[in-house]
Amino acid sequence: MKNKEEKINQPNPEILFDLLRIKMPFGKYKGTLLEQLPISYLEWFARKGFPDGKLGILLQTIYEIKLNGLEFILKGLKKNL
């Protein structure tokens, strides 16, 4: 059980790669890569509520990255795609 708990609490690097590969599946920005969504759209989700599931986790992650000026993390990862 302890190994499972430890795994849950560790960051998943695939989440960052998913931000570079997955496109928004609905709404005004349907078809836009998640990492390219404007901060204003992400702020709207932050106010109204992020979707459930993996998409919500991805949107929250890109929101925090952009909010804190950490886009350079993703630029470094693009080289590995």
- Whether the CB-CB separation of 41 and 28 falls below 8 Å is answered with yes
Strand positions, DSSP E, the chain: none
Distance CA 24, CA 35 (A): 10
Please give the model's pTM, rounded to 2 decimal places: 0.83
User: Is the predicted pLDDT of residue 57 greater than 90, yes or no?
Assistant: yes
Over residues 13-37, the pLDDT tens digits come to 789 999 999 999 999 999 999 999 9
